Structure 1
Amino acid sequence: MKHLTKFIPLVTFIILSLSISCETKSQEKSKEPKTSENSLNKEKDFKFWTWITANKTRSDESFNEEFKKYSENGLQALLINTNGDPELLARLVPIAKKYNLEVHAWMFTINRPGDKIAEQHPEWYAVSRDGKSCYDEPPYVGYYKWLCPTRKESREHILSLIEGLSKVEGVASFHLDYIRYSDIFLPIGLLPKYDLKQETELPRYDFCYCDVCTSEFEKLHHKNPKDFSNPSIDMEWKNFRLNKVKAIVDEAYKITHENGKILTAAVFPYPEMADHMVRQRWDKWNIDAVLPMIYNKFYNEEIDWIGYATKQGVEDLKGRNTELHTGIYVPQMSAEQLKEAIQQAKNNGANGVSFFDGPAITEEQWQIIKSSQKQ
């Protein structure tokens, strides 16, 4: 009986341990997407994507023709911009699936040009250090209509749009774009277009200095950014803004996973560069995959820079469960240059490549894309 008495607590302990273990696994499982739409990790083969924009006035026949071409030339995934229209997205999913193409819901996130709801609320828009609102005076170009990522109302509006597209059946991921602040520094190759010289952080391009942002920051750090003589050297102010973008991404991650989808994003070439240029530190986000736009022409760089930037991103993501698929800008790129660009991405650890954009790919480039899959 003494041995039995000792044995009973042991059995109880084992049963309790198994119960706790099962409960923990159940809780961990609940954090994963509820459906099997997550396809990033199903195949370890190098993946080929493209970004495209869809117009609801187009016929199903024309979309069939376009999607068939992508499939026959070896693409596996489409990042489709429907301007936030879930009905158009739902219409395109079965057409894409007919050609074994994944559909990813691509949306302009913090930059919201043409957003009729946001336009009814001028106070939602980001404000520059010199007091100019994106609502009245957008920087650089007319479609730069950046919302404030701190303000509760604008943030909730953005997340509601993500929720709507994430609920569309058959979509593989929600794809964040313009998930950052406006460019504090433009890519060097674009500066002549705007007749600009940007050697320091200029007030006109430094956002967001709205009352909500500055007052919240002051409560936390007991200083007001509007009083800074040189805001660029204040790390708390910089991190405050980096974290406001991260907060939207992390919330989007919860929303998409709750709706059985994964989260992907188009980002700047590599984390340190993104941090410097647009207040975007994507290696610290909760996200399933990033597609850095390593558009070498924009930066006056050679093709091998695509490999360099890819490697930088891969290194910064080490230890995180995030894939990296290199974004390639195909216009003005020869077929041989495209071949080298794809190889640079492969050699430096990318999980795939995405082309901007589908309609711009030439017949010669399609031949390269098809042949690259066999290498």
Structure 2
Amino acid sequence: MKLKFLLLALSVSFCSVSCQDNMPATQKSKENLASQEKAEKTDFKYWTWITADSNRPDSSYTSEFKKYKEYGLDAVLINTNTDPQLLDRLTPLATNEGLEVHAWIMAMNRPGDSIALQHPDWYAVSREGNSSFDTRPYVDYYQWLCPTREGSRDHVLSLVEGLAKVKGVTSVHLDYIRLPDIYLPIGLLPKYNLKQETELPEFDFCYCDVCVAEFEKIHHKNPRNFENPAIDMEWKQFRLNKIKEVVDDAYEIAHKNGKILTAAVFPYPEMADHMVRQRWDKWKIDAVLPMIYHGFYNEEIDWIGFATKQGVEDLESKNVELHTGVYLPDMDGAKLSKAIQLAKDNGAKGISFFDGQAFTPETLEAVKNSKK
């Protein structure tokens, strides 16, 4: 009897495999496509950046986090102004609603940093010789630290470590991990009544004594004496490397504390290199969220797909995820739906929205519908 049942089971199993093997190719391809689409919907991550206020009650945050989860978001990047206690308070509120928490830090741009302000020598210096401690490019909150000086580097990394130690956090998320904009996005130039066709000295950083001395020791030339610093590749690479060193050290700190490292970056590596001394495809990093804010560059929404694809291809040989960042004030529901699809179609692993406060009922519905 047992043998009879065994033979029957083998027969059914063989038939099942045989039937699948004989399935029409079109049916197979449809099933594979459906399976792939299901996996994409499951694996594609939705994030939003938010800024915390210690005076807001827990109930207000819980309501906000519930809303995000209800409409399909998976993760929140929280700026607590590097306050580990506030982050420790908010993290369980978000994780209890099913959201990942990422500790968002303004890294090299540290406006109003009470510790840094006690050390005026820590600040980046322009080619004009002005320190961003008291002469700030573009806007008053641009107060940039030098990535080369030991004191300023150690300060930023200590802030990273404080956030990395908070229980329940998934990543430390670096923002402003660069030097000041040597070129602003073209769409922002009229706001500042600027024309930037060359690298202007008031926006070219860092020419502090430590940066100049270290560069001169390596390359035997002084960048302050360059007639056209923009064409000296060693000087440009020196500054790219200094930012990379901060990132790589932050990566080690995050991983030592059981966290990953993520970063908000400019749209794609070559563009970031040109505009803000940031070459993020060379970094030790787990995931990047390029800020592909098409309106800032006077581009159409299709540019989100182009910039996403460029970044994905630049990371092709690396184990680094790319999650497209978009700017909500430039979007209605239809545009946001298209932006999400462009990110998916061009290889992004997710999409992040700046910022949570800018969501409208229409854009929240667009997020929710994109997951169906």
Q: TM-score, normalised by structure 1?
A: 0.88
The match for 1:342 is 340
Q: For 1:254-293, what per-residue CA distance to the aligned partner results, in whole angstroms no more than 9, with x for missing partners?
A: 0000000000000000000000000000000000000000
Q: Name the CA distance, whole Å, in 2 between partners of 1:129 and 1:332.
A: 35
Give 1:98 deviation, angstroms. 1.1
- Structure 1 letter corresponding to 2:331: M
The match for 2:226 is 228
Q: For 1:50-89, what per-residue CA distance to the aligned partner results, in whole angstroms no more than 9, with x for missing partners?
A: 0000011110010011111001011000000000000000
- Structure 1 letter corresponding to 2:173: H
1:91-106 to 2 correspondences below 5 Å: 91-106=89-104
The match for 1:301 is 299
Give 1:97 deviation, angstroms. 1.1
Q: Name the CA distance, whole Å, in 1 between partners of 2:147 and 2:247.
A: 11
Quick check: 1:137 aligned with 2:135?
Answer: yes
The match for 1:116 is 114
The match for 1:50 is 48
Q: For 1:293-346, what per-residue CA distance to the aligned partner results, in whole angstroms no more than 9, with x for missing partners?
A: 000000000000000000000000011000000001010311111111111100
The match for 1:107 is 105
Give 1:114 deviation, angstroms. 1.2
Aligned residue among 282, 285, 290 for 1:284: 282
Aligned residue among 179, 183, 197 for 1:185: 183
The match for 1:267 is 265
Q: Name the CA distance, whole Å, in 1 between partners of 2:91 and 2:208.
A: 40
Q: For 1:189-208, what per-residue CA distance to the aligned partner results, in whole angstroms no more than 9, with x for missing partners?
A: 00000000000000000000
Give 1:363 deviation, angstroms. 0.3
Structure 1 residues 44 and 150, CA, compared in 2 at 3 Å: closer, same or farther? farther
The match for 1:77 is 75
Say how many residue pairs are matched.
332
Q: Name the CA distance, whole Å, in 2 between partners of 1:162 and 1:139.
A: 25
Q: Name the CA distance, whole Å, in 2 between partners of 1:93 and 1:294.
A: 27
- Structure 2 letter corresponding to 1:254: E
Q: Give runs of ≥4 in structure 1 deviating > 4 Å.
A: none
The match for 1:168 is 166
Q: For 1:146-166, what per-residue CA distance to the aligned partner results, in whole angstroms no more than 9, with x for missing partners?
A: 000000000000000000000
Quick check: 1:159 aligned with 2:157?
Answer: yes
Q: Name the CA distance, whole Å, in 2 between partners of 1:334 and 1:359.
A: 14
> CA RMSD of the aligned region, Å?
0.8
The match for 2:201 is 203
Identity across the alignment (%): 70
Q: Name the CA distance, whole Å, in 1 between partners of 2:118 and 2:255.
A: 30
Q: Name the CA distance, whole Å, in 1 between partners of 2:261 and 2:371.
A: 25
Q: Name the CA distance, whole Å, in 1 between partners of 2:70 and 2:212.
A: 52
Quick check: 1:255 aligned with 2:253?
Answer: yes
Give 1:247 deviation, angstroms. 0.1
Q: Name the CA distance, whole Å, in 2 between partners of 1:256 and 1:186.
A: 31
Q: Name the CA distance, whole Å, in 2 between partners of 1:94 and 1:133.
A: 40
Give 1:103 deviation, angstroms. 0.4
Q: Which has the higher contact order (CA 8 A, sep 6+)?
A: 1
Q: Name the CA distance, whole Å, in 2 between partners of 1:339 and 1:169.
A: 34
Give 1:222 deviation, angstroms. 0.2
Classify the secondary structure of the residue corresponding to 1:69: helix
- Structure 1 letter corresponding to 2:103: A
Q: TM-score, normalised by structure 2?
A: 0.89
- Structure 2 letter corresponding to 1:206: D
- Structure 2 letter corresponding to 1:273: M
Classify the secondary structure of the residue corresponding to 1:331: helix
The match for 1:68 is 66
Q: For 1:107-127, what per-residue CA distance to the aligned partner results, in whole angstroms no more than 9, with x for missing partners?
A: 000000110000011000000
Give 1:373 deviation, angstroms. 1.1
Which ranges of structure 1 fall in alignment gaps of 5 or more residues?
1-42
Aligned residue among 71, 74, 84 for 1:86: 84
Classify the secondary structure of the residue corresponding to 2:50: strand
The match for 1:320 is 318
- Structure 2 letter corresponding to 1:175: H
